[in-house]
Amino acid sequence: MLFSCKEQRYPDALSPDDALKALTVSEGYKVELFASEPFVYDPVTMEFDENGVCYVALMPDAPFAPKPGEEKGQIRVLLDLNEDGLVDSSVVFADKLSEATSLLPWKGGILVTAAPDILYLKDTNGDFKADIREKLFTGFFKNNYETQISNLQFSIDNWIYANNRGQEGDITYIPKPGDSSLNVRGGDFRFRLDKDKFENETGPGQFGQDIDFYGNRFITENSIPIQQMMIPWRYTHRHPYLSSTKSMKNISDHGDTMYQVSATPYWRRERTIKRNKEFQEKKLNRVEYERGRFTGSSGGTFYVGDKMPGLYGNFFIGEVAGNLAHRDVLKDNNDSAYFIAQRDASDQNSEFIYSKDTWFRPVNFTTAPDGYFYMLDFYRQHIETPVSIPEELQKDMDFKKGTDKGRIYRIMPVNATYKFVKPNLGKMSNVELAGQLSNGNEWYAITAHRLLVERQDKSIIPTIQNILNQSTSDKARLHALYVLEALNALNTGVVKKAMQDASPGVRRNAAILAERYPDCYNDLVALSKDPSAKVVLQSVLSLGEFKAKNNTPVFIDVLGRYGYDRNFQMAVLSTDAGSSPQFLKAVLESPVGANTSKPWNDFITDLCYVIGARNNKAQVKNLMELTNVATMKPREGVILKGLRRGLENSPNVDATLKARAKDWSKLESPALKDSLIKNFK
């Protein structure tokens, strides 16, 4: 008998039963197996349609891009024929897909992100096999599966959102190819198929996105488990001159630490030793950690079911490198424009789910019609892309080992007994669907909402109006408000009433809709004094859409209360009126103008940056003249600093002036001022 002395650096896979036994879950909950190979492998996303049909996308080609014509990606329908809670059959719904990353039910079929496309697939004869395959959008980045279009989400506002990781792409809407293409570089993407609209959205997000009941959007990227998108793209790009349009906030209050119990992979340990040695030799103030830090965050998802009230509204993140699933509890504060993500008291020194099995790769989650939470395990020996690993460490690594495996788990209360649920929303009348808008399992509410949008049956309008006027559920009222929007049944009276709703979430969304109605202007002004900072922020953003109105006193009042917050500053600066010399003068002559704190000086610098970047000679001259005013004199240096930077970065400044602007940083304020005056007489 021959023996090998070579060390086995990477362990082999466990059976589905043994892998399940290796999982540890927070007290009070249990994990059951829902599906495994051969019925599913390499799962990355799962969705249930209105009739409970379970679709799952498989990505066996990862981490390598398949050659054209050799794609192995699939979408399967998972079947539980004996209704015992364990999948016992699956049908290939669609195959030969190029890295399908997300699914969304739509009009009896599903939307699929499969770069460079977003597809529509539908089974028309009931055999669970797609016989319609249409391309809706094309042009998305395709070269790296970790940064492709993904995470389709139908939101309360009737838009469908997707992460694009900020990648370059000229997007074409195939049903209307005559429309101009959209460049999505630097952001994410959203679209409406009921209105044939598509546009950029704030980002970029990676693999993980969810939107809460009130339209607040959260994304996940590798090393940052949860970020809140603060200001939508349509506001930060009202003009092209902001010093920065990035409007996303890392809301975690516990940093990037994770409680990993699995062993550090050999390649990661060796790479970390090598990199830290290089950092020390180059005397760089940098440290790489081999474990215990988030580096593979994935699939951020809210649990919104009705079977585990203790988890309701919690945000879950898979950490594929740490072999665990992390939970965040979002805390709201009326005085803050953003939430704070905190560890639950039971997770202070551990994670919600973890395993010593290094093959455990939780990539995504979903709330199901049965009210429970499902977790997708990609289950691979290696999850990382080879481009991040030195070649010498790849020699004994098989990046495809495990492509025939995959597990999906169901998370339940420890004492619960599974009961099969078969929803039939697709067969419900519109009135019955309207009744689902207040369902405690948000899967039913948002699915009913989507179906009402798809059907476009205006006969349901009186019923929806009654829900908006009479429901005690603020979530039902918000669903009703946007169903009316989709049916073109809004008017000034409806929106005005919603702006006075008891729920700040409803008021904030009503402020967005008020942008369409000039008669709502005074109501928006009233909302600028709302007790909720989130409502106030939206009121400022929405007031900025009324260019003919005098928003100056409102903006100054809001800045007096929230001027320390970068989000409120950006909301004002994104408007033409809030980024003018006249506005600067009004601010500095107001009581809040005496504030000399760093946030206020930063605001003034950014305001003057916009004026410089805009390069309107009359505005620059006006700004120069204002520096002679006594109230302006103490801020002259701050003003000129912003103006210089804006001119340097302006697309409208000629090369000669731009070159001279670089020298202004070396000059004292009087010399700089004289130079500016000569150029902008």
Pairing between β-strand 248-250 and β-strand 224-229 as defined by DSSP bridges = antiparallel
- With bands split at pLDDT 50, 70 and 90, how would you rate the model's confidence at 663? low
Please name which of 23, 97, 92, 31 lies closest in space to residue 60, comparing C-alpha atoms. Answer: 97
Residue 560, both tokens: 């007096």
Would you list the domain boundaries of the chain?
Answer: 16-382+390-413, 580-681
Distance in angstroms between the alpha carbons of the first and the last residue of the chain: 93
Residue 514, both tokens: 């008020």
The count of other CB atoms within 10 Å of the CB of residue 276 is 16
Model confidence at 539: pLDDT above 90: yes
Cβ contact 236:179 at 8 Å: no
Model confidence at 47: pLDDT above 50: yes
Rounded CA-CA distance 78/305 in Å is 21
Which residues partner with 326 through β-bridges?
317
Model confidence at 527: pLDDT above 90: yes
Longest dimension (CA), the chain: 95
Residue 637, both tokens: 């240096």
What number is the average pLDDT over the span 145-173?
Answer: 89
Q: Looking at residue 464, what is its pLDDT?
A: 98
Q: How many CA atoms lie within 13 A of 156 on its CB side?
A: 26
- With bands split at pLDDT 50, 70 and 90, how would you rate the model's confidence at 26? very high
Rounded CA-CA distance 103/57 in Å is 7
User: pLDDT digit string (tens) for 596-641?
Assistant: 889 999 999 999 999 999 988 889 888 888 877 776 777 888 888 8
Q: Looking at residue 381, what is its pLDDT?
A: 96
Model confidence at 1: pLDDT above 50: no
16-382+390-413: what CATH class? mainly beta
Q: Looking at residue 490, what is its pLDDT?
A: 97
Position 143: which residue type? N
323: region left, alpha or beta (phi > 0 left; psi from -120 to 50 alpha):
left
User: What 8-state DSSP symbol labels residue 87?
Assistant: -
Model confidence at 209: pLDDT above 90: yes
User: pLDDT digit string (tens) for 91-123?
Assistant: 999 999 988 999 999 999 999 999 899 999 999
Cβ contact 594:560 at 8 Å: no
Percent of the chain with pLDDT over 90: 76
Chain centroid offset of residue 679 CA: 44
Dihedral of CA 25/29/30/35: which sign? negative
What number is the average pLDDT over the span 582-589?
Answer: 93
Pairing between β-strand 209-211 and β-strand 182-183 as defined by DSSP bridges = unpaired
Out of 26-40, 170-184, 520-534, 536-550, which region has the weakest mean confidence (pLDDT)? 170-184
Q: Looking at residue 119, what is its pLDDT?
A: 97
Q: Looking at residue 303, what is its pLDDT?
A: 98
What number is the average pLDDT over the span 651-671?
Answer: 64
Give me the chain's average pLDDT, please.
92
Percent of the chain with pLDDT over 70: 95
Model confidence at 680: pLDDT above 70: no
Task: Give the DSSP H/E element, type plus range, for residue 485.
Answer: helix 474-486
566: exposed, middle or buried (Cβ count in 10 Å: 0-12, 13-18, 19+)? buried
What number is the average pLDDT over the span 242-254?
Answer: 94
Model confidence at 667: pLDDT above 70: no
Chain centroid offset of residue 154 CA: 12
Model confidence at 668: pLDDT above 60: no
Q: Looking at residue 666, what is its pLDDT?
A: 58
Q: How many CA atoms lie within 13 A of 673 on its CB side?
A: 16
Model confidence at 222: pLDDT above 50: yes
Angle at alpha carbon of residue 582, lines to 577 and 586, rounded to 5°: 100
Q: Looking at residue 65, what is its pLDDT?
A: 84
The tokens 């440290």 sit on which residue?
287
Cβ contact 160:191 at 8 Å: yes
Residue 184, both tokens: 């999505």
The values of phi and psi at residue 404, to 5°, are: -100, 15
User: pLDDT digit string (tens) for 306-363?
Assistant: 999 999 999 999 999 999 999 999 999 999 999 999 999 999 999 999 999 999 999 9
Rounded CA-CA distance 530/128 in Å is 51
What number is the average pLDDT over the span 279-305?
Answer: 92
User: pLDDT digit string (tens) for 383-440?
Assistant: 988 888 999 999 889 999 999 999 999 999 999 999 999 999 999 999 999 999 999 9
What number is the average pLDDT over the span 41-46?
Answer: 97
Cβ contact 516:489 at 8 Å: no
Rounded CA-CA distance 486/194 in Å is 8
Q: How many CA atoms lie within 13 A of 88 on its CB side?
A: 7
Rounded CA-CA distance 484/467 in Å is 11
